[in-house]
């Protein structure tokens, strides 16, 4: 799911899923008709979690640490990566939801209201200032408009984020053991509908950076919808290699329907995006010239926001990922389109 695991889920067990072409300007997508061929895929990544050398996973954290993932399921420590079967089921649900929109043009921009819930300890540990929260929203806006991209590698996805509220709760139990109490916390604090991005910050342990639900999960458990981030992963948080805000970028990608670039490894259909090269496993750090699927076209998408790379290494989404996020938004989050 994602460095956190940065984003996916064990959907069948928990009901929630838990981690290039250039386009100038906004991404406009026209859904293919029922008889149109599926787009050809470039060449994507296995759901194996990555534990960096020299780090020890938190025994209470989901596997794949430090990870950015999808929602790790009901039981703490449960499998958090999206299996090929779960990914296929999400894809089936997406295609079914889009049937009535075939042939329609889906044109961004889409503005996403953001509510941030800061969970801190009673002694002030984990407090996140308003300034850092605004900086995180700024990171999202820059990332989703293509502002970190190098040359022509990235796109403007058309998504924009607008901070609408900040809530603060000082509770030692919630802060120190968020994962165990997350269902209660989210049910009590969540605001808005499917279109509102609820972000929760707390202490997640040494191995977990964040996790997210998928759009398809909202209808079954609407009050659990949202993104959870380690408080020190926000800009200026002090998390070594991971405090520039791109755990947030990554997890919001899951919240908008994207899988990891290494979903399904070197096997079809990879991450279900036709312009992200196949990748056998997550990319630690920022490796140069990495190619874990040499039989496939293209080198590993190490700098893609949906990988596990260091924050400083992450630069872009692709046109195909932008299209997929738009499709998920219209299918599951934009109530006016249904």
Check if 251 is active-site.
yes
Tokens read off for 87: 């990914």
- Tell me if 32 sits within 8 A of 163, measured CB to CB: no
- Tell me if 293 sits within 8 A of 132, measured CB to CB: no
* DSSP per residue, 123-147: TSTT---HHHHHHHHHHHHHHHTTT
- Tell me if 40 sits within 8 A of 106, measured CB to CB: no
Q: Quick one: which H or E segment has residue 44?
A: none
* DSSP per residue, 249-295: HHHHHHHTTPPPTTTTTTSTTTTS-TTS---SS---S--SS--S-TT
List CB contacts of 157: < 8 A, sequence separation 6 or more. 27, 108, 144, 145, 146, 317, 321, 322, 325, 326
Distance CA 286, CA 309 (A): 6
- Long-range own/partner contacts, residues 237-241 (CB < 8 A, 24 or more apart): 237/128, 237/132, 239/209, 241/285, 241/310, 241/311, 241/312
Distance CA 7, CA 231 (A): 16
Catalytic residue among 79, 81, 251, 327: 251
The CA–CA distances, whole Å, from 50 to 5, 162, 208 equal 9, 32, 11
State the virtual CA torsion across 213, 250, 269, 95 in degrees, nearest 10.
50
Which residues are part of the catalytic machinery? 251
């Amino acid at each position: 799911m994602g460095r956190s695991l940065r984003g996916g889920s064990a959907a069948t067990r928990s009901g929630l899923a838990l981690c290039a072409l250039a386009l100038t300007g906004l991404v406009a997508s026209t859904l293919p008709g029922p008889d149109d061929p599926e787009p050809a895929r470039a060449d994507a990544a296995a759901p194996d979690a990555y534990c960096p050398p020299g780090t020890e996973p938190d025994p209470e954290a989901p596997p794949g640490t430090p990870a950015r993932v999808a929602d790790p399921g009901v039981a703490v420590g449960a499998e958090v990566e999206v299996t090929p079967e779960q990914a296929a089921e999400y894809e089936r649900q997406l295609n079914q939801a889009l049937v009535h929109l075939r042939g329609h043009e889906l044109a961004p921009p889409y503005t996403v209201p953001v509510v941030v819930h800061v969970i801190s300890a009673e002694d002030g540990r984990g407090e996140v200032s308003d300034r850092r929260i605004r900086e995180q929203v700024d990171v999202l806006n820059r990332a989703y408009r293509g502002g970190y991209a190098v040359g022509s590698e990235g796109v403007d996805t058309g998504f924009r984020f607008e901070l609408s509220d900040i809530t603060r709760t000082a509770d030692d139990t919630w802060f120190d053991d968020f994962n165990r109490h997350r269902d209660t916390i989210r049910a009590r604090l969540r605001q808005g509908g499917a279109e509102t991005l609820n972000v929760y910050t707390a202490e997640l342990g040494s191995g977990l950076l964040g996790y997210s639900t998928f759009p398809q999960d909202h209808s079954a458990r609407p009050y659990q919808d949202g993104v959870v981030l380690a408080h020190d992963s926000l800009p200026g948080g002090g998390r070594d290699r991971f405090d520039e805000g791109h755990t947030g970028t990554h997890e919001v990608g899951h919240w908008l329907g994207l899988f990891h670039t290494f979903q399904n490894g070197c096997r079809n259909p990879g991450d279900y995006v036709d312009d992200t090269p196949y990748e056998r496993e997550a990319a630690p750090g920022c490796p140069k010239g990495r190619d874990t699927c040499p039989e496939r076209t293209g080198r590993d998408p190490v700098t893609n926001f949906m990988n596990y790379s260091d924050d400083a290494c992450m630069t872009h989404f692709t046109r195909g990922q932008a299209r997929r996020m738009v499709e998920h938004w219209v299918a599951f989050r934009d109530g006016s389109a249904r």
